[in-house]
């Protein structure tokens, strides 16, 4: 640790109290990793600083700029791309103590929150008021609002309702020079100047530090139901999605599981899934109670015409929860197969989805890797979950080769390498596969404008 970093930690402990600063090796080691589960931990934070207010954040930023200490923001650490790993020294800025829901305004249909608010907790509170916040990443019970904004999270309901970026109206941000800016307004429309809010959503803490967010809410659907349909081929499953949309039915969710995922989940969380099928769709419908049976009837007819070999429908809240728990358990189930599990989020135009699924299977077979494929088929998004043993040098080498080829495949099918997880440290070497040099140069220039000293999550994304 450099003398400047030691001086920074000493001053921060004085300003924020020692209780809010962790600096021993043992304490900091717990924050050296995130859900990306990197193969080797080469660096740990010099300190972990717990902030309680925007004034605390400003104090940290000003002192970090003074001493040239990098700042890496952390919510719950559930991102899967290494976005909050410390690679070049510096401190973790922890937002678990900035976790207040400041306001839920029913008339305006907005929520004002601090970045450390747990997404699942917010959903519970707003639904009590008959409101709804659709973005629902699979880890919503632990992930934070700040983290989901930083990574531009999506979720199963993106198909109908859009992702996080569609629900952020305004952000309060502390810049790298210690100033506070508001990126938008608390109104649902804003055509006044550049859209800075969208710039910060998905910026992974590289442009500024979010200290408050105003989120758009919508009325809570009166009723929901989930349908699970099984198919003997992936093509039949994709055809069913296209036909549902052609009939002008807009499910809240159309998710996908392949055979390996179905079998792995059923062994981990027995939910009565049919393990002899090549693919399954998880379709959630919502809306006015009177419309549910109508939607269900049309969808079931389409599924049968598309050769669905079996259809399961939730008839109670318990059955609804069981199906969704099975779908959300896919990564945890894969973790039972090998000591480590990786996940990704490639996305292509939906017309190329079947090619993407079969292509990923072929690549994994080529390199003798197990793959469990799930995803948001309505969006064209696939999450290849690959369990491996990082201690096996040859298996890790094969995994890296497969990962690069999966990105090449997505690019060749008109897709991109991240639909909702972000880039972080783990995907930055691949970003040029799908983003042009000119575009990347402009992105780097934007980074220099907002963070000229490169102290905010340095070297992530690029």
Residues 221-241 have a mean pLDDT of 93
Contact indicator for 367, 322 with CB cutoff of 8 Å: no
Instruction: Compute the Cα dihedral for 46, 47, 51, 56 and give only its sign.
Output: negative
Residue pLDDT, tens place only, 292-334 = 999 999 999 999 999 999 999 999 999 999 999 999 899 889 9
Instruction: Compute the Cα dihedral for 295, 234, 355, 437 and give only its sign.
Output: positive
| Domains contained in the chain, CATH given | 3-97 (3.30.43.10), 101-219 (3.30.465.10), 223-331 (3.30.70.2190), 337-437 (3.30.70.2740)
Residue pLDDT, tens place only, 156-175 = 999 999 999 999 999 999 99
- Give pLDDT, residue 42: 82
Question: Does residue 193 register a pLDDT over 80?
Answer: yes
Question: Does residue 137 register a pLDDT over 90?
Answer: no
- Name the pLDDT band for 139 (thresholds 50, 70, 90): confident
Residue pLDDT, tens place only, 407-443 = 999 999 999 999 999 999 999 999 999 999 999 999 9
What pTM was estimated for this model as a whole? 0.94
- Give pLDDT, residue 172: 98
d(CA 313, CA 137): 23
Own/partner pairs for 276-279, CB < 8 Å, 24+ apart?
277/230, 277/231, 277/232, 277/309, 277/310, 278/231, 278/232, 278/233, 278/234, 279/230, 279/231, 279/233, 279/234, 279/236, 279/237
How many residues appear in the chain?
A: 462
- Give pLDDT, residue 298: 95
- Name the pLDDT band for 233 (thresholds 50, 70, 90): very high
């Amino acid at each position: 640790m450099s003398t400047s970093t030691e001086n920074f930690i000493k001053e921060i402990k004085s300003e924020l109290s020692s209780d809010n600063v962790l600096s021993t090796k043992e304490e900091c080691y717990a924050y050296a990793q995130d859900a990306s589960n990197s193969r080797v931990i080469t660096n740990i934070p010099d300190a972990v600083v717990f902030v309680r207010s925007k004034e605390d954040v400003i104090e940290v930023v000003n002192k970090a700029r003074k001493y040239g200490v990098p700042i890496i923001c952390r919510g719950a650490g559930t991102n899967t791309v290494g976005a909050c790993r410390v690679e070049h020294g510096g401190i973790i800025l922890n937002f678990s103590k900035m976790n207040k829901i400041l306001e839920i305004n029913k008339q305006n249909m907005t929520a004002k929150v601090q970045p450390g608010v747990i997404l699942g907790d917010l959903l519970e509170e707003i639904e009590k008021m008959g409101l709804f916040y659709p973005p629902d990443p699979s880890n919503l019970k632990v992930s934070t609002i700040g983290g989901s904004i930083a990574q531009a999270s999506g979720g199963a309901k993106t198909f109908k309702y859009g992702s996080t970026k569609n629900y952020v109206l305004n952000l309060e941000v502390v810049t790298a020079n210690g100033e506070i800016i508001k990126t938008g307004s608390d109104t649902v429309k804003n055509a006044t100047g550049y859209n800075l809010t969208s710039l910060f959503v998905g910026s992974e803490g590289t442009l500024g530090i979010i200290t408050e967010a105003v989120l758009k809410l919508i009325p809570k659907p009166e009723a929901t139901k989930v349908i699970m349909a099984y198919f003997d081929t992936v093509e039949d499953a994709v055809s069913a999605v296209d036909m549902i949309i052609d009939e002008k039915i807009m499910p809240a969710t159309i998710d996908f599981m392949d055979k390996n995922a179905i079998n792995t989940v059923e062994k981990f969380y027995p939910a009565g899934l049919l393990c002899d099928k090549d693919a399954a769709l998880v379709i959630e419908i919502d809306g006015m109670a009177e419309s549910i049976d109508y939607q269900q009837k049309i969808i079931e007819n389409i599924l049968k015409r598309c050769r669905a070999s079996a259809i399961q429908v939730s008839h109670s809240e318990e059955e609804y929860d069981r199906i969704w728990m099975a779908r959300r358990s896919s990564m945890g189930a894969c973790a039972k197969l090998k000591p480590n599990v990786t996940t990704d989020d490639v996305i292509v135009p939906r017309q190329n989805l079947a090619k993407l699924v079969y292509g990923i299977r072929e690549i994994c077979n080529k390199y003798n890797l197990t793959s469990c494929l799930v995803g948001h088929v309505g969006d064209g998004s696939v999450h290849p979950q690959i369990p491996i043993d990082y201690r096996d040098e040859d298996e890790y080498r094969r995994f890296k080769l497969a990962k690069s080829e999966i990105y090449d495949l997505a690019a060749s099918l008109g897709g991109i390498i991240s639909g909702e997880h972000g880039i972080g440290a783990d995907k930055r070497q691949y970003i040029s596969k799908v983003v042009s040099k000119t575009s990347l140069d402009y992105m780097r220039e934007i980074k220099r404008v907002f963070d000229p000293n490169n102290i905010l999550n340095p070297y992530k994304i690029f």
